[in-house]
Structure 1
Amino acid sequence: MPADPRPVLGACLPIASLPAYREWILADQRDVELQDFCFAEVLDAPDWKDRAARAREMLAGHTGRLGLHGPFWGFSIASPDPEIRAVVRRRLDQGLDACAETGATQMVVHSPYTTWMHNNLDMDHKARAEVTAHAHDTLLPAARRAEALGVTLVIENIEDKDPRDRAHLALSIGLPSVKLSVDTGHANYAHGSTGAPPPDYFITAAGDLLDHVHLQDTDGYADRHWPPGEGNIRWTAVFAALATLETMPRLMIELRDKGRIRQAAEYLAGLGLAR
């Protein structure tokens, strides 16, 4: 029989949830994204390497791709304050330490672009260049180290209203270790609440820079992280946009309720979109 052409779904999980999903992950060698190492209390804990070792132990036999969500709480990668940028560089370095310790080959970082920026940056001809310069100052050391480690940094849309802004930023870094992520729920929030294009447009705009997708559903009002099918995202349009790409990005189910990940996967499989 011919191979199933549908893409295989991965999952975003804290390390503590890996045992519940281990058999399901290994059966199809699904991609995994660890979500512990975005928290300051984890990064600064004296036993963080023990946590990484537990992840490696629980994923013994896993040949799918491993990534992690990098730190993002409480800061922007394009802060105009140089002292804040120094803190962010240190946090990103800690995230890359965790990549090295776990064997992760991808790390998610958050976009600096906000709704306020969309409406205000073009009042001052220098403003966009300043955001880019601040982001370069923060990201370039991490991007160079990531390249040496075999890790790709993927910039995820958060409040982004124009999906091209992140693409321009990633390309301006000039390194293959910086690519893009699309979070379908964030895109749908921006579409419903701020007039951004729908999620499939975000995927099309990212094009072959797209290396990672967070799959979650919303009502277009808040960042719900519901299973697909419970909000109003048009999933056939999302997967049609994905099908136009030369390389399928990592497709990671990211839910608030980790106990419903298999339900989410079964819903998308039932639509014939993934497996």
Structure 2
Amino acid sequence: MTPLRIGACLMTGDIADHRDWLFDDDRDIEIQDFIDPAALLGDWREHAERTRKALDGHKGRRGIHGPFLGLDMDTPDPEIAPLVTARFVTAIEAAATLGARQMVLHSPFTPWDRANMPNHPGTAESHRARIHDTMRPVVDKAAQEGVTLVIENIFDPDPATRRALVESFASEAIALSVDTGHAHLAHHTSGAPPVDYFLRDAGEKLAHVHIQDLDGYADRHWPPGEGTILWPSVFKALADCPAQPHLVLEMRHASDIPRGFAHLRDLGLAC
């Protein structure tokens, strides 16, 4: 199996510390500053321009992690939903300003949904309708700016539910993200399939992967090798993927990026 080139998630202030490794091989970069609500309030353009300057010379693929704190694309509150839409649209503008072509957003699905949607006829349809009402302007804005929204599994116990939502938009501007740690945690706590099944289910819609390790108890964001994920099966699924997703280490501490990369490199899985 040919090793896969991987990059990393980091804050603008951490770019300089990893610049040679990221820039010399044009690795995928995901900027995570815009998770913080404060980054999208006030003069977000100045922040985005500062990040763009820090990325000067980088020729690889770029993305951002969009906002999610307090933001639910499935909110049933008709006064809150427009605020969610507006915040996501602003984040897309920030992504476009710094030359990012992807924006990560969080899935709204939970184990409760899996168990209870069939118990309440029409619930699945009403959920999807609400999500479309909130997200259709966001998807349209993403298409206009040349940004792809990638919907990341969070609590999802069933990857097919999230895939069906993405497919329902019938747009190239929305695709799937898989977080290896979130999938592994759901496998242990909610009876979800293992990580490689999440990746294979996504198929050609897989556009982005967060690479992190954990122990099956909490969302650790440890470097690969410090948890219990079976990395050969993960990278076999990635090698078989018909798409070419962004592959980025998402560590709790940016200083762990070299150690996580070294473990995967030494296994012959990453380069």
2:237 maps to which of 221, 235, 241 = 241
Letter of the 1:241 partner, please give it. A
Pairwise mapping of residues 16-95 of structure 1 onto structure 2 (< 5 A)?
16-46=13-43, 48-95=44-91
CA distance in 2 between partners of 1:80 and 1:205 (Å): 28
Q: Which moved more, 1:234-243 or 1:36-45?
A: 36-45
Aligned position for 2:226 = 230
CA distance in 1 between partners of 2:180 and 2:38 (Å): 28
CA contact (8 A) 2:93 2:145 kept: no
Would you say how many aligned residue pairs link Structure 1 and Structure 2?
Answer: 271
CA distance in 2 between partners of 1:147 and 1:9 (Å): 26
Give the alignment's TM-score, normalised by structure 2: 0.98
CA contact (8 A) 1:67 1:107 kept: yes
1:161 maps to which of 157, 168, 190 = 157
Deviation at 1:94, TM superposition (A): 1.2
CA distance in 2 between partners of 1:130 and 1:81 (Å): 13
Letter of the 1:169 partner, please give it. L
CA distance in 2 between partners of 1:232 and 1:84 (Å): 39
After TM superposition, which residue ranges in structure 1, 4 or more long, deviate above 3 angstroms?
none
Aligned position for 1:263 = 259
SS of 2:114 mapped into structure 1: helix
2:211 maps to which of 194, 212, 215 = 215
Which residues of structure 1 form unaligned runs of 5+? none
SS of 2:19 mapped into structure 1: helix
SS of 2:33 mapped into structure 1: coil
SS of 1:109 mapped into structure 2: strand
SS of 2:149 mapped into structure 1: strand
Give the alignment's TM-score, normalised by structure 1: 0.96
SS of 2:203 mapped into structure 1: helix
CA distance in 1 between partners of 2:255 and 2:27 (Å): 17
1:7 maps to which of 1, 4, 7 = 4
SS of 1:214 mapped into structure 2: strand
Q: Note if 1:108 corresponds to 2:101.
A: no
Deviation at 1:237, TM superposition (A): 0.4
CA contact (8 A) 2:205 2:243 kept: no
SS of 1:153 mapped into structure 2: strand
Pairwise mapping of residues 70-219 of structure 1 onto structure 2 (< 5 A)?
70-219=66-215
C-alpha distance after superposition, 1:210-250 (max 9, x if no partner): 00000000111111000001010000000111111122211
Q: CA RMSD in A?
A: 1.1
C-alpha distance after superposition, 1:152-176 (max 9, x if no partner): 0000000000010010000001111
